[in-house]
Amino acid sequence: MYRRSIVVFRKLLPALLLVSALPAWVARAETSETRRPVDFHLEIQPVLQKCIACHGGVKKNAGFSVLSRELLLSPTEYGEPALVVGDSTAGTLIERITSDDPEERMPPEEPLGPDEIEAVKAWIDQGVPWPKHWSYAPLQQAEEGQSPSIDHYVRQRLEELEISPAPSADRRTLIRRLSLDLTGLLPTVVEVDSFVSDSSPDAYSALVDRLLASPHFGERWARHWLDEARYADSEGYEKDSPKNDAFLFRDWVVQSLNDDMPFDQFTVKQIAGDLLPEPTNADLIATKFHLQTQYNLEGGVDAEEDRTKRIIDRMSTIGAVWLATTVGCCQCHDHPYDSISQREFYSLVAFFNNADLAADFLDKVPEEAEKHLQDRNKQIAELADLLNKQVNDKNLSNEVQSRLSKLRNFDNSNGFVRYLHERTDNRRATYILQRGDFLRPRIDDGALTPQAPAIWPPIQPRGEIPDRLDLAYWLTSPDNPLVARVTVNKTWMHLFGNPLVATPGDFGARGMTASNVELLDWLAHWFVHEAKWSRKELIRLIVNSATYQQSSAVRPELLGVDPENELLARQNRFRVEAEILRDIALQTSDLLSRKLGGPCVFPPLPAIIAQQTYANSNNYKVSEGESRYRRGLYTFFRRTAIDPNLSTFDCPDSSSSKSQRDRSNNALQALATLQNEVFHEAAQGFAHRLLDLSLASGLPDHARIRQAYLVALGREPQPDEAHLLQSLLQDARNYYKAHSDEAAKLVGNHPAVNVAAPENAAWVATTRVILNLDEFFTRE
């Protein structure tokens, strides 16, 4: 048997040797022909990101760029492309990424791994497929036969990983969460008790409907939009002069949200309200979105330079707000990461090159502005009188004479408002600016026509030359899926603390892919086609989901699996924004004014902050009465002298659009809520409220402590919490009985009636502790 086997082996040996020579070319055949299709976004794009710093839109070393397929396949400075489609053995790309020579190998700092190299080879052999960037691709729709919902998409992924969703939060947590998310205010004790005791199946949905119908909904969600609009009540730069009519835009945003103006109309009116047929005053006020740019009023400033900066800022802001694309990077050069050239950027800027500032007297301005306008009217009338005495009209241009005529014929019943309007005569040509320098237009490259970059669908103009109204219609066109994705993502962020796309201001190549693309696309499609761009309907859909209603309690078993909670196995817990923190502190004290709209107010501000501005540094007069306690939305916001209560808690400075606020946690914040005048006064008012209540009903200490918890936290204190506060209260009584002078100072201007100063001060010390609890300024 053994001898026979040897004979057979000798006869088979030549064939075995032939087979041993096959693996090299067989392996290559499997790579190029039988390997599964390469996933560009998961396997290739991360590799290209390692190359883009030296071979992108700014740097194109050796004339080679990986910014787009077209550039990738273009000849390098050596005259030949770096790769040949369908043949990974041709060209120099594979040779460079596989080289053992440190001088030749690319990338030099971080060589590619074996799997990455094989993926690049297979990608080349498969034809260098380059699909649209995920955020520019058409919206994915649910498969036929599916019954899609938010919970369907979230729980589908959880089930794949065998993770259970968190249980629903308790009712006290739910009403507090909803109230803070939708109105930025705390629910009252009566509202909490009513909801907790309501056993009807539609109790939660009825609560949602009531909060969405609240006029405070518009205030809460306007704050989000104003961050993106870079809203401020001053011009910026050194002078940073007050912008006295800015509040009209803020109030327009609030009203639009309360009216549930569809987002496509909301977009059109802000970008091109003046170009609508027969625009209303409200349409003109909406264009003040563009007037949130900074204006340099310093002496010696070149007016054309300042104008150029403003129109570039306007287009950059639109790119950030609606497209989540950093188009402003192209001011000086091609975009380093996205396929947007400098020429294409200035073609977008061309939409604004003939949009000028207009100032006129508009009828039907909000009634709340009447007193403010009367003061301004008096100043304008005085100025007109002065000009009439000192200036010879014959030496004025027709435009100046026209403006002076308006001043002389000023009607006190009207309002003087600035807005944007389109120039019709002497229209400016738009050119690429060399390195963004307004003095170096590249005239030889030709004037530019307004149009969109090639990576997005083309704009369909109504006339011969596209204008801002065409741009606005293009943004909200069904052919442009990016705006719906971006808008839905930010709405989700405001209701969960974290967005589905972790970079809400950048949906480009450097941005993150959505943590749940299917969910984002379904929501975006639903928002446009089912909700008809209604933001209230979108919010209603999200907050009615079981995913939104989950408990936010951290689960230790998920910390290693999903530390950032991208899978949404629970809700998120986070601190409320700066303005909301002040609002709810004043709300607990019964000091907060619920008045809507109108000119800015001036709450207490440290003198050293007011004096930081070059101009008008001594004109900050603290508002009195109800105005002192209005919501933070109405606080006068000066760019160069931000209220430290706002900046300490991460309020942006409005120098540029902000899609997502930072969320820091530091010791200075604790000191602010403990010692700042606003929070001190809130503690005084809170103590006054509790003491008045106790006198009326004869409540003992433990009942007053219970009531304080119900007001501030929406729940009763635990026994150990009540014991600690009772001990604190007693220690404070003993202290202030021995230090009556300090007691009177602590009580301040909000003493309770017929209550001795030491007793009053003891309660101020107690309420101050409650207002400094983490739970008070945390949305769970």
| Helix runs in 90-188, H state only | 93-97, 114-125, 150-160, 171-182
- Structure confidence at residue 365 (pLDDT): 54
606-615 long-range contacts, Cβ below 8 Å, gap at least 24? 606/644, 609/641, 609/642, 609/643, 609/644, 610/641, 612/640, 612/641, 613/240, 613/638, 613/640, 613/641, 614/238, 614/239, 614/240, 614/640, 615/238, 615/239, 615/240, 615/241
CA atoms of 175 and 358, how far apart (whole Å): 46
Report the alpha-carbon distance of residue 341 to residue 736 in Å, rounded: 69
Single-letter code of the amino acid located at 34: T
What φ, ψ does residue 55 adopt, rounded to 5°? -130, 55
- Spatial contact of 502 and 516, defined as CB atoms under 8 Å apart: no
pLDDT at residue 416 in the model: 72
**CB neighbourhood size of 574 (10 A):** 14
Tokens of 563: 């530390």
Can you give the pLDDT at residue 191? Answer: 98
Q: Which residues face 358 on adjacent strands?
A: 419
Element (H, E) at 548: none
Dihedral Cα 331, 337, 340, 342, nearest 10 deg: 30
* Cβ-based neighbours of 91, under 8 Å, separated by 6 or more: 80, 81, 82, 83, 84
- Which of 601, 708, 727, 224 minimizes the C-alpha distance to 593? 601
Geometric angle at alpha carbon 259, from 541 and 282, rounded to 5°:
140
CB-CB neighbours of 298 under 10 Å: 11
Taking CB atoms within 8 Å and a gap of at least 24, the contacts of 37-42 are 37/126, 37/129, 38/119, 38/122, 38/123, 38/126, 38/129, 40/123, 40/129, 40/130, 40/131, 41/131, 41/134, 41/513
The pLDDT, as a whole number, for residue 412 is 36
pLDDT at 610: 74
Residue 566's closest CA among 539, 585, 547?
547
Count of other CB atoms within 10 angstroms of residue 767: 27
Element (H, E) at 751: none
Vertex 758, ends 756 and 759: CA angle to 5°? 65
Q: Copy the structure tokens of residue 214.
A: 């609240």
Rg (CA), the chain: 32
Q: Cα 519 from chain centroid?
A: 20
Q: Are 452 and 459 in contact (CB under 8 A)?
A: yes
443-437-429 Cα angle (round to 5): 40
What does the alpha-carbon distance between residue 455 and residue 476 come to, in Å, rounded to a whole number? 16
Q: Determine the Cα–Cα distance for residues 413 and 447; give it in Å rounded to an integer.
A: 45
Strand partners, 601: 635
> Residue 276: helix, strand or coil by DSSP?
coil
φ/ψ of 421, rounded to 5, equals -145, 160
- Give the residue extent of every domain in the chain: 25-125, 171-216+481-558, 262-365+414-475, 367-412, 677-779
Q: Which residues of 55-93 are buried (b: 16+ CB within 10 A; e: fewer)?
A: bbbbebeeebbbbeeebbeeebeeeebbbebeebebbbb
Spatial distance between the Cα atoms of 758 and 766, rounded to a whole number of angstroms: 12
Tokens (6 digits) for 760: 């009053």
Alpha-carbon span 237 to 577, nearest angstrom:
26
DSSP string covering 338-379:
SS--HHHHHHHHTTTTTEEEEEEEESS--GGGHHHHHHHHHH
Query: For residue 598, which amino acid is it?
Result: G
Question: Tokens standing for 260?
Answer: 């549930």
* CB-CB contact of 674 with 774 (8 Å): no
The values of phi and psi at residue 495, to 5°, are -105, -10
Helices (H), 611-700: 644-647, 667-675, 677-697
- Phi/psi for 769 (5° steps) reads -65, -45
User: If you ran DSSP here, which 8-state letter would residue 60 be given?
Assistant: B
Distances (CA, A) of 343 to 76, 468, 771: 21, 18, 54
Partners of 778 in the β-ladder: 575
* pLDDT score of 41: 80
pTM of the full structure:
0.87
Give dist(CA 348, CA 449) in Å, integer: 9
CA distances from 16 to 10, 21, 25, 247 (A): 10, 9, 16, 86
Instruction: Please check whether residue 158 is in contact with residue 567, taking contact to mean a CB–CB distance below 8 angstroms.
Output: yes
Q: Please say whether the beta carbons of 253 and 222 come within 8 A.
A: yes
DSSP letter assigned to residue 716: P
Rounded to whole angstroms, the Cα distance separating 290 from 270 reads 8
Coil, helix or strand for 84?
A: strand
Q: Which two tokens stand for residue 177?
A: 């969460």
Number of helical H runs and strand E runs in the chain? 31, 4
Q: Could you say which residues of the chain have pLDDT below 50?
A: 1-31, 364, 367-369, 373, 391-394, 396, 401-414
Cα dist from 670 to 39, 575, 619, whole Å: 48, 13, 30
- Nearest alpha-carbon partner for 361 in 389, 390, 381: 381
Between CA 293 and CA 732 the distance in angstroms is 51
What is the distance between the alpha carbons of residues 52 and 570, in angstroms, rounded to a whole number? 37
